[in-house]
Structure 1
């Protein structure tokens, strides 16, 4: 199907195209794509009118033929051109060749209006398809509009305006009030207020302080700030999100792939059946008239065109991806929409997934140390980590500290070790103390909240109590999953007592705490050992990447999640809301319903009209309805998902 390439965000959605979505700029001439169909329609209506006015005698013979050829060219030429292009690629049996043969054949037997009508309605179907795709694309366009075009970078003591792609890691950029941050980095200024809604869906402004992360796409709200660039543009969170969305349609659902394979077998079969309808009756029918049987064969060809299937089914999945984008959910492929409908077990991380991941220091207990010095030593070590607990301690401490940490090492599932001002410091959970054989106050084990136990020079020095907060919609999300007959499981590296407390609070079926990354993998493998289980894992941290990769569907909390989690996941929830997991499931199920409806409708109508056509009952006009009419209905059905409320 030939597309006019002057839409704002053009989608490669040819029946035969397997490529990703491509984005093009609007050149202000979008109206031109409607001209061919309008011209053909006006000439066709005028021609049919002249045909039915008996007193008009001049409209016959070559003049009538020329009139309908002129009506045919605007809509027929692009399809004929595509048929030749396919022929060059050694593909003869396709919808373009079927339409070309059928309409040229209609002209050959004098059915001029029908020949024009088939191509005209085919062209109108294409315009409907474009409109449907553009509607789905508007949600993605909202994401594309958050790409900053320029960055103000400090070079040779002067700020220069250049493309974000040309800024290097380590350079300083300036962002004025009201401007969008062009690149990921850390804040050099004291603080700044940012609108993060484009990335997280959160409308409340977020305050970010010195050395904390600022992401491309955030809007600086109130003053000029400076940021140290930590990632190249192509590696920024925003660039990766855009890439994910633009490539999502390249990963096909099984239903979509099956229909494409079916069309490749089906098209040559119907072509030879049509040939048989035209020629075989010669040997069996006494009153055989070639023109009559050719007409039946041409009707059969028009009806059999597989476009209703190969257009509307990918469009159904594309509509699902578009609807999900509108809700802040990014599917990395249509195949995950299919898989999500079979989901019966959802496994979730705790911190940052079901809880806010925003910790606050509640209490500091020291043994033989000044509290201020103790916090300064621990915060110096924790500044080397991006873990929410580490950030909470760093924020609590005075940043103008004399302490400096070196040789910092993160011990997965345990904590941190390193040298601070020449002293060996350990900070983490009680397992870290046990690992290094350090005696600590065992009363710590009875504290429900998260505790960071500290040892200095291999001697227990105290602990810090930190508390997290459950997300507002966590309980609702779990309740709705139960309503969908989905089992919920929580796996956490946090203490079992905290994990169980939160699980009870929000209604999780099974909860396991004190887990290292490899323990999470083991639990997930046990769940997957049951072949009936289709398992999704939801997480946001670097340590969640192995489990995200292992699960049937990996879902990352992408608003503030780690790059590793977002990269590994199959679905990214931009708003960081657990309730969006349920929304994603509902969108997937609605998409599947629409796709099945389209398949049943397309096959049902086609089979009936094919039989009528073979017996000479259906006319070319009936064939037009069976092909283009069904395609239009299927397209309109497919775009319903964009209007649905979830």
Structure 2
């Protein structure tokens, strides 16, 4: 069945910002109005059945009785029949609107007026309840829209004025009061403040951010009046990007979802012709053939055959999974990736910023010749234009030594090696041992077995010394690896640009068997392709840096760590984790498995009950009431089951 058959009530699109801005009273009024036709039909139907069965008024017969039940039918029946006619005009004949219309009109044709009204009434109630269930499943995603403030207080001409966030440009300063939402991404100017980041990350614990550090749109300022330098325009802010990802997620369908949709298009015309056969063919084989009896069985068969439960509840199951994941700070860019995560058996992990904190500290400095102050200041100058955590560690260390850092001149980044530039008339190299080897500068001894990160410095072609820098494992790194193994991941591999010895040390501590270090960005891609060729399994890559983007694009499932991750990694990835917790990968796998389980439960429930009641209907052992349960009842049960995933995580 075509998906647009449900557009009126259960489209998976998130409403526009304008529609979301309507008042609560308006929504409540709209919701009440949706139920009025069903309430009116229900009252009229109950009165009619009471007169038929108990009061038995003499005039309530013939055309008066027909007219009364027609009036009862119109509030719930006409919208469905009208929709069916509109779709037929577009060439879409075999829809549930067509099936319900034919079945209920047919019931009137054979004099089963109350059943005709009842079937349409319960169908409408089922649709309304399904609509409510869909809204519930989407509610946590819709709530993200509330995170986009309508205004920002920007500093212009030494005064603060209120404007729409879209009017604020990068580089301008905005002011945010305690309790207000951050409207745009930027760097904190004020000394520090505490922020509620739960809407972005799923974490309830407040986060303290200090001067110079990034804050993201959607965070809530908790402590004090702060000022922020805006770094990105409104449409590129974190919260806008999240909304775009989630809004577009429903466009990429899982294989199960696509199969059900294709199946419904074939299935619906088949059961329609079977119903026609059920009404007419017994004439040639059955003695005492009564057309009304077999026509009634055919109508029951038609009502039962509606594939509503499948067409509605399966996409909703996946959407519920995407919603549950987003509430936990995990963004799937499509239900196909949610489905693919079930088959995941191999995970390849970046090291720095993924398994380790990416917060480096200089532990030791070794100087070969000159006083440390000379070459350290030159190195810090070159690193001052970089936002890499290692660069920040070196700059912090040099500043702590009370050294003046000169302004850098021209410089270039040599991918996978380090930096080269001019500082105060001197040519300075800062990077790994491979950088110095590239320029044929000897370092005196082999540092490859050193288990801490070495950053070497050369000035004017002469080796000056190195910084010995350490990183720490993230708090949840150990439990992540163990839980990955517990959840069916057979192989875990580390790929890192860091030294082989450092990479092996981390792998050993985490009990990971395979680890490869000293990899340039292109070598990471090559090594990943090798791992992929060796295995027929679905493989995911988890990374955070800009140099991880090519590998993320190569993986079956690219997972970006969004908290510290680069924009390039987040844009390339299929799944974005909004925190810096690798354990969220485990949560994503669990949500994926739970979603698939619920989807297949719904398929089994819908098919099982429908086949049973279809058989009973064909044998004349099921009435319209049984048909109502098989159609609307099962659809509603399936939808409620799909919504259940929201409460599981």
The TM-score normalised by the length of structure 2 is 0.92
Q: 614, 617, 620: which one pairs with 1:616?
A: 620
For 2:169 and 2:190, the matched residues in 1 are separated by 19
| Residue of structure 2 in register with 1:115 after alignment | 116
| Residue of structure 2 in register with 1:379 after alignment | 380
Q: 457, 462, 472: which one pairs with 1:459?
A: 462
Are 2:480 and 1:477 aligned? Answer: yes
Change (3 A) 1:179 1:361: farther
Count of equivalent residues: 637
Which residues in structure 2 correspond to 1:151-550 (within 5 Å)? 151-202=152-203, 203-210=205-212, 212-398=213-399, 401-442=404-445, 444-486=447-489, 487-530=491-534, 532-550=536-554
Once the two structures are superposed, what CA deviation does each residue of 1:51-92 show, in whole Å capped at 9, x if it has no partner? 211543333333332332232222223222321331232111
1:266 Cα deviation from its structure 2 partner:
0.9
For 2:198 and 2:453, the matched residues in 1 are separated by 30
Q: Contact 1:20–1:248 at 8 Å: present in 2 too? A: no
| Residue of structure 2 in register with 1:68 after alignment | 69
1:530 Cα deviation from its structure 2 partner:
3.6
Aligned residue for 1:643, secondary structure, equals: helix
Aligned residue for 1:110, secondary structure, equals: coil
| Residue of structure 1 in register with 2:103 after alignment | 102
- Which has the higher mean CA deviation after the structures are superposed, 573-582 or 532-541? 573-582
| Residue of structure 1 in register with 2:588 after alignment | 584
For 2:206 and 2:375, the matched residues in 1 are separated by 34
Q: Contact 2:194–2:206 at 8 Å: present in 1 too? A: no
1:308 Cα deviation from its structure 2 partner:
1.0
1:590 Cα deviation from its structure 2 partner:
1.3
1:433 Cα deviation from its structure 2 partner:
0.8
Q: Contact 1:477–1:579 at 8 Å: present in 2 too? A: yes
1:566 Cα deviation from its structure 2 partner:
0.9
Change (3 A) 1:201 1:309: closer
1:509 Cα deviation from its structure 2 partner:
2.5
Q: 22, 25, 47: which one pairs with 2:15?
A: 22
For 1:262 and 1:15, the matched residues in 2 are separated by 22
For 1:457 and 1:178, the matched residues in 2 are separated by 53
Q: Contact 1:18–1:250 at 8 Å: present in 2 too? A: no
Q: Which runs of 5+ in 1 are unaligned?
A: 4-10
| Residue of structure 1 in register with 2:38 after alignment | 37
1:541 Cα deviation from its structure 2 partner:
0.7
Change (3 A) 1:12 1:483: farther
| Residue of structure 2 in register with 1:605 after alignment | 609
Aligned residue for 2:358, secondary structure, equals: coil
Aligned residue for 1:439, secondary structure, equals: coil
Aligned residue for 1:637, secondary structure, equals: helix
Once the two structures are superposed, what CA deviation does each residue of 1:428-465 show, in whole Å capped at 9, x if it has no partner? 11111111111224254343111211112221122112
Q: Contact 1:384–1:408 at 8 Å: present in 2 too? A: no
For 1:370 and 1:219, the matched residues in 2 are separated by 47
1:254 Cα deviation from its structure 2 partner:
0.4
Q: Contact 2:96–2:308 at 8 Å: present in 1 too? A: yes
Change (3 A) 1:41 1:509: farther
Q: Contact 1:15–1:310 at 8 Å: present in 2 too? A: no
1:228 Cα deviation from its structure 2 partner:
2.8
Q: Which runs of 5+ in 2 are unaligned?
A: none
- Which has the higher mean CA deviation after the structures are superposed, 26-35 or 553-562? 26-35
Q: Contact 1:527–1:533 at 8 Å: present in 2 too? A: no
Change (3 A) 1:465 1:269: same
Change (3 A) 1:73 1:586: same
1:498 Cα deviation from its structure 2 partner:
1.2
Once the two structures are superposed, what CA deviation does each residue of 1:382-436 show, in whole Å capped at 9, x if it has no partner? 2222222122223334399451123222222111122223322111111111111
1:257 Cα deviation from its structure 2 partner:
0.4
For 1:73 and 1:479, the matched residues in 2 are separated by 61
1:579 Cα deviation from its structure 2 partner:
1.4
For 2:445 and 2:217, the matched residues in 1 are separated by 45
The TM-score normalised by the length of structure 1 is 0.93
| Residue of structure 1 in register with 2:558 after alignment | 554
